[in-house]
Amino acid sequence: MSNTDLRFLTVLAEEMNMRKAAEKLFVSQPALSQRLQNIEKQWGTKLFIRSQKGLILTQSGEIVVKFAKEMLEKEERVVEEIQSLETHIHGTLKIACASIVGQNWLPKVLKKFVNLYPNAKISLITGWSSEILKALYGGDVHIGIIRGAADWKSSKYHLFEDSLYLVDKEIRNIEEVLQTDRPFIQFKSDSNYYQEIQDWWYRQFQTAPKRTIVVDQIETCKQMAYNGIGYAILPAITLNGADKDMYQIPLLDEKGMPIKRDNWLLGYDSAFELRQVQAFLEVVREFNEDHKVID
């Protein structure tokens, strides 16, 4: 039955009178009578019996009217849910994020997002930027956050840039690097970040480090440097709350300018049509407006 038929049946059951029902439905009594006959024909049974005092529901009529009321109630709930989507953010926001950003920048943004949109769910995976791109290409996530160059043909938004620093408890300037016997602590990373560090190193020193220690996580690298085991090159995003006795020497390019890493938010155009993605992007923009420079 159409919604109109469902409405006709429920009003007839409420009024139990053809004239009053017709007035309430803004139709003529003959038109309502004809419509009721068509409905009864569809069900193959009599739903109402006319009497001098009005209408009487048959047993079949009681069942069909109950069905009509339930269908209209379900429709109303669906309409309410759809309308609530216009004012409330629901659904799951699927993010793939470079580990460094996921550990140091993203939690602050997500805190603001979940406070504003408690009904939204979040699915988060972290890894190297190359792995984030694979997740995007595979359709596993809505948006990806990567570090470095963003060769992406669809929607992309620049988040921030952060400088690279050589950090150590003893080394106060770059020239002292060649004089120390303490190790250069490196962490495993994607190829373009590793190459960027290598290019800077050989441009600066034209020789390999005397000693190196390679660890699998940037946080391990950071803690080893903080505990005086050796020196490390770390992005500014990881240096919040650094020990006061840690020296931080900015890496400079061949023109004497600080070397910085760009951070990007990427996604397919279709993903940015989702309300939860739109809401997240708005939170990101507001957050970056309040924290304009990471240095």
Contact 109, 283 (CB under 8 A): yes
**pLDDT score of 295:** 45
Per-residue pLDDT band at 84 (split at 50, 70, 90) = low
pLDDT higher than threshold 60 for residue 293: no
pLDDT at 245: 81
Q: Is the pLDDT of residue 83 over 80?
A: no
262-281 residue pLDDT tens: 999 999 999 998 889 999 99
Using only C-alpha atoms, what is the Rg of the chain? Answer: 33
Percent pLDDT > 70 in the chain is 95
Average pLDDT over residues 245-257: 92
253-264 burial code (b ≥16 CB/10 A, e <16): eeeeeebbbebb
Inter-residue contact 29 to 18 (CB < 8 Å): yes
In the predicted model, is pLDDT for residue 294 greater than 60?
no
Q: Flag whether the pTM goes above 0.85.
A: no
- Is residue 189 within 8 A of residue 238, CB to CB? The reply is no
Residue-wise pLDDT tens digits, 204-225: 999 989 999 999 888 899 999 9
pLDDT tens-place string over residues 171-209? 999 999 999 999 999 998 877 788 889 999 999 999 989
Ordered structural domains, the chain, with CATH: 3-87 (1.10.10.10), 92-159+262-290 (3.40.190.10), 162-260 (3.40.190.290)
pLDDT at 148: 86
Lowest-confidence region among 17-21, 22-26, 243-247, 250-254: 243-247
Rounded average pLDDT over 36-40: 94
Look over the chain and give the mean of its residue pLDDT values, rounded to a whole number: 90
Structure tokens at 96: 């793939």
